Amino acid sequence: MTLKELSAYIAVEFQKTYGRAPRFIAAAPGRVNVIGEHTDYNDGFVLPMAIEFYTIMAADKRLDGAGVVTLRSTSQPDAATIDLSQTINPATPKWGNYPRGVFAGFQARGVNPGGLDVLVHSTVPLGSGLSSSAALEVCTATLIEAVTGKAIDPVEKALLAQKAEHDFANVPCGIMDQFISALGREGHLLLLDCRTRQTELVPMSDPSVALLIINTNVKHELSGGEYAERRAQCEEAARNLGVKSFRDCTPEKLEQGRGKLSEVVYRRARHVIGEIERTVHAAEGIRASSWPSVGNLMYASHSSLRDDYEVSCKELDIVVEIAEDIGRTGGVYGCRMTGGGFGGCCVALVKADAVASITQKIASEYKAKTGIEAAIFSSRPAAGATIIKG
Ligand code: GLA
């Protein structure tokens, strides 16, 4: 569904749920990361794009004037309520904690949007590494901007949403997902320097190539501890190497300090240092439309995530192997897992005129090898969060 169709849909559903038309509608996209994985919390670079899959929220002020927010979702059985007159803390149902954390962020800034009836709908596949949670957080923040009539700086908005994820969902994520959901621009990837938070738009409009997203339909769960463990290993390595972050570390420096690291921690560091470099080169390659070299960097990223960082899984590896088999002659330049890992999606850079045959081939071979039905779609780079009504 396009954003226009989605807003028509949510307006009708809001009417059915609350018996009146919504006064406010806001949306925020999910994302796919083209390259730069597990680099954001290491002061590195990332290169994501917003996708044409959104979380959308419709709302109206409450009719009874109470300072309570009621959130209903088209996909969740239980409503979440937030009492704005109290300090906002995590609660049940679990899905409500993402918006709850964002309302808490505004509360901490002294902003009270007043009681609301809200309906949430999302086309971002949940738990697939496409940042459904960041889309929900950034969408909530954008809705609050619509209701209060006060825009906040998009960087501040992304940071507020990230804090919601840390404090209310218990995931010590970096800043990539919330940044791209808030700052994405149609037709562009976003090269984000996670140390300075400077962003650069990288045009991605060559009609001869497309990005395919292949959902393995193996669910990933970043609150499972593996993500936090990787972060801790990176911090340990940086400390032992005497650098503030891996951004200050070259491959040579890593080799010199190798003796100070355990074998596992050394490999974690090698991934991050290599991935930061690959991301910078990939952005250069995209600017120059050097698709074969961008594709090679994507394959190298995948191998490093699989072998050194150990965040891939069997199904993601199978997708990448199938893509490599199809090869450049079949229209695939490169393929890698995307997002936190342990399931979720791969992203492939392909020739636009081969999308149909590649989709068909990956789908049938993946099914034959795993017994699982993959979901495969392409998306152009979409715009970031927006107020549709209000
Ligand atoms: C998750 C996190 C991001 C980032 C990626 C890995 O998506 O939310 O901040 O760390 O994993 O690149």
List C-alpha distances in Å: 255 to 198, 229, 270, 309: 29, 23, 9, 17
Per-residue pLDDT of 137-172, as tens digits, reads 999 999 999 999 999 999 999 999 999 999 999 999
Distance between Cα 231 and ligand 1 center (Å): 10
Centroid of chain to Cα 121: 17
| Three-point CA angle 306, 361, 311, nearest 5° | 15
Q: Specify if 242 maps to a domain.
A: no
Is the shortest distance between the CB of 37 and ligand 1 below 6 Å?
Answer: yes
User: Which atom of ligand 1 is nearest to 227's Cα?
Assistant: 11
Q: Specify if 14 maps to a domain.
A: yes
Q: At residue 8, does pLDDT exceed 70?
A: yes
List C-alpha distances in Å: 215 to 39, 127, 335, 359: 22, 10, 13, 12
List C-alpha distances in Å: 300 to 1, 231, 295: 34, 21, 9
Q: Residue of the nearest CA to atom 5 in ligand 1? A: 340
Query: What is the spatial distance between Cα 367 and Cα 387, in angstroms, rounded to a whole number?
Result: 40
Is the shortest distance between the CB of 344 and ligand 1 below 6 Å?
Answer: no
Q: At residue 75, does pLDDT exceed 90?
A: yes
Q: Specify if 320 maps to a domain.
A: no
Q: At residue 72, does pLDDT exceed 80?
A: yes
pLDDT (average), residues 350-355: 98
Q: Which residue has the tokens 């395919």?
A: 212
Of the pLDDT bands very low, low, confident and very high (cuts 50, 70, 90), residue 225 is confident
217 dihedral zone (left: phi>0; alpha: psi -120 to 50; beta): left
Going by C-alpha positions, the residue among 199, 159, 162 that lies closest to residue 283 is 199
Q: Which residues are marked as active site?
A: 177
Q: Is 54 helix (H, G, I), strand (E, B) or coil?
A: strand
Q: Which helix (H) or strand (E) holds 57?
A: strand 45-61
pLDDT (average), residues 74-80: 97
Q: Residue of the nearest CA to atom 1 in ligand 1? A: 340
pLDDT (average), residues 9-15: 98
Q: At residue 366, does pLDDT exceed 80?
A: yes
CATH number of domain containing 91: 3.30.230.10
pLDDT the model gives residue 137: 98
pLDDT the model gives residue 224: 67
Q: Specify if 339 maps to a domain.
A: no
List C-alpha distances in Å: 123 to 5, 32, 377: 12, 14, 13
Domain count, the chain: 1
Entry field: residues in the chain? 390
Q: Is 38:271 a contact under the CB 8 Å cutoff? A: yes
Query: What is the spatial distance between Cα 8 and Cα 3, in angstroms, rounded to a whole number?
Result: 9
List C-alpha distances in Å: 62 to 65, 67, 73: 6, 8, 17
Is the shortest distance between the CB of 176 and ligand 1 below 6 Å?
Answer: yes
Per the DSSP assignment, residues forming a β-bridge with 49 are 32
Q: Quickly list DSSP for 73-136.
A: ESS-SS-EEEETTS-----SSGGGHHHHHHHHHHHHTT-----EEEEEEE-SPTTSSS-HHHHH
Q: Specify if 337 maps to a domain.
A: no
Per the DSSP assignment, residues forming a β-bridge with 215 are 345, 375
Q: At residue 236, does pLDDT exceed 70?
A: yes
pLDDT the model gives residue 173: 95
Going by C-alpha positions, the residue among 338, 52, 51, 44 that lies closest to residue 192 is 44
Q: Is 71:83 a contact under the CB 8 Å cutoff? A: no
Q: Specify if 119 maps to a domain.
A: yes
Q: Is 373:331 a contact under the CB 8 Å cutoff? A: no
Q: Which residue has the tokens 């949306």?
A: 27
Q: Could you tell me where the DSSP H helices lie in the chain?
A: 3-18, 97-108, 132-148, 154-169, 176-183, 226-241, 251-256, 263-287, 291-307, 314-326, 355-370
Residue 244, judged by CB atoms within 10 A of its CB (0-12, 13-18, 19+), counts as: exposed
pTM of the model: 0.97
User: Which atom of ligand 1 is nearest to 171's Cα?
Assistant: 8
Is the shortest distance between the CB of 177 and ligand 1 below 6 Å?
Answer: yes
pLDDT the model gives residue 222: 64
Average pLDDT of the chain? 97
Distance between start and end Cα atoms, the chain: 21
Query: What is the spatial distance between Cα 367 and Cα 108, in angstroms, rounded to a whole number?
Result: 49
Lowest-confidence pick of 71-85, 125-139, 214-228, 344-358 = 214-228
* DSSP at 330: T
Q: Residue of the nearest CA to atom 9 in ligand 1? A: 174
Distance between Cα 337 and ligand 1 center (Å): 12
Q: At residue 223, does pLDDT exceed 70?
A: no
User: Which atom of ligand 1 is nearest to 39's Cα?
Assistant: 12
Q: Specify if 111 maps to a domain.
A: yes
pLDDT (average), residues 317-324: 98
| Domain encompassing residue 109 | 3-204+382-389
Q: Specify if 102 maps to a domain.
A: yes
Q: At residue 27, does pLDDT exceed 70?
A: yes
Q: At residue 277, does pLDDT exceed 90?
A: yes
Query: What is the spatial distance between Cα 165 and Cα 137, in angstroms, rounded to a whole number?
Result: 8
pLDDT the model gives residue 244: 93
pLDDT (average), residues 68-82: 98
Is the shortest distance between the CB of 340 and ligand 1 below 6 Å?
Answer: yes
